[in-house]
Amino acid sequence: MQISFRQLQVFLALVEHKSITAAARACHVTQPTVSMQLRELTAVVGLPLYEVIGKNLFLTAAGMELAESARAMVDEWSAFGARIDQMKGVASGRLRVAVVSTAKYFIPRALGSFCKRFPAIDIALEVENRDGIVRRLRENMDDMVIMSMPPEDMDIDCEAFMPNPLVLIAPLEHRLAGRRSVPLEKLLDDRFILREKGSGTRLACQIHFTEQQFRPQIRMELGSNEAIKQAVAAGMGVGVVSRHAIGTRPEDEGLAVLRVKGFPIHSNWFIVTLRGKRLSPSAVAFLDQLRGSQE
């Protein structure tokens, strides 16, 4: 097949952004150029690669096969370039990291110090909920992902590198604020505000509450820690969030961390990669930094 490397890059941009217009923007070319490249690519393959239903773009079976092969080729070429640069003594390349939303409270700082050490390395950071991160991991879209509850049904390598304690927060005026060793049963009448189903925090809560034989009254489910903090501070209930999601002075946010037995819930942050994935020198350097920061 006579397929150019540029056509593969354009196709992968389409796969990631699900839009010809967005793919053109990502590739810094015009929309007609992207459309032409995709038509030529489809003609060479001999089968439709995608279809548009309503406003949504979906890959066909042939498109999914091509996406998997294209990612492998592009990744291999990028790794080759990085190895050559390393031989030349040039610290450059590209680092692709995807993190669950709660990790946005600390990963940017780690990336910031990494950029100071390696200013020639381009950084791509994606922040999504756990379902989005699992999808990106399954499709091999990043060098590594950072999450607290790695999937159990995938062939992956996981490395715990940082604790992620989950704390129970309440409004400052809550009746149990300031008390010590509060039994969990004291919260039977409270309404809980929790993360959405499928999130790492929610999964950890479900496991913990089941072990404690505690059934929380759930008032609402929210998709971000910021929304939970605002709702709790407004007196709508109590919530469970990562300790990383609140500052060193929770009271400044109108919040109290309740000292409830069984809390904080023990959890960890994990570096997750597909098993057998060959990391680029840039990814290895960042991995070493994450490990070293916890020593």
pLDDT at 260: 94
Residue 79 lies in a domain: no
Same domain, 183 and 258: yes
Same domain, 231 and 288: no
Pairing of strands 268-274, 144-147: antiparallel
Same domain, 149 and 275: yes
pLDDT at 86: 64
Same domain, 12 and 56: yes
Q: Measured at the alpha carbon of residue 82, what is the angle toward residues 24 and 73, in degrees to the nearest 5?
A: 55
Which class for 78: exposed (0-12), middle (13-18), buried (19 or more C-beta within 10 A)?
middle
Same domain, 60 and 198: no
CATH code for position 12: 1.10.10.10
Same domain, 275 and 159: yes
Residue 293 lies in a domain: yes
| Residue numbers of the chain with a pLDDT score lower than 50 | 90, 295
Residues spanned by the domain of 7:
1-74
pLDDT at 241: 94
Whether the CB-CB separation of 254 and 172 falls below 8 Å is answered with yes
Q: Is the overall model pTM greater than 0.75, yes or no?
A: no
pLDDT at 58: 92
Same domain, 194 and 145: no
**How many other β-carbons are positioned within 10 Å of the β-carbon of residue 13?**
20
Whether the CB-CB separation of 133 and 151 falls below 8 Å is answered with no
Residue 59 lies in a domain: yes
Whether the CB-CB separation of 165 and 235 falls below 8 Å is answered with no
Running DSSP on this structure, what letter comes out for residue 220? E
Same domain, 144 and 216: no
* Cβ-based neighbours of 16, under 8 Å, separated by 6 or more: 23, 26, 141
**DSSP-assigned states of every residue in 73-104:** HHHHHHHHHHHHHHHHT--EEEEEEEEEGGGG
3-state secondary structure at position 11? helix
Residue 258 lies in a domain: yes
Pairing of strands 191-195, 217-222: parallel
Same domain, 276 and 131: yes
> Which of 74, 102, 132 corresponds to the end of one domain?
74
CATH code for position 213: 3.40.190.10
Q: What is the pLDDT of residues 11-29, one digit of tens each?
A: 999 998 888 999 999 888 9
Same domain, 174 and 221: yes
Same domain, 135 and 193: no
Same domain, 14 and 31: yes
Residue 179 lies in a domain: yes
Separation between Cα atoms, residue 47 and residue 55, nearest integer Å: 21
Residue 156 lies in a domain: yes
Residue 80 lies in a domain: no
What total number of domains does the chain contain? Answer: 3
Q: What is the pLDDT of residues 106-118, one digit of tens each?
A: 899 899 999 888 8
Residue 189 lies in a domain: yes
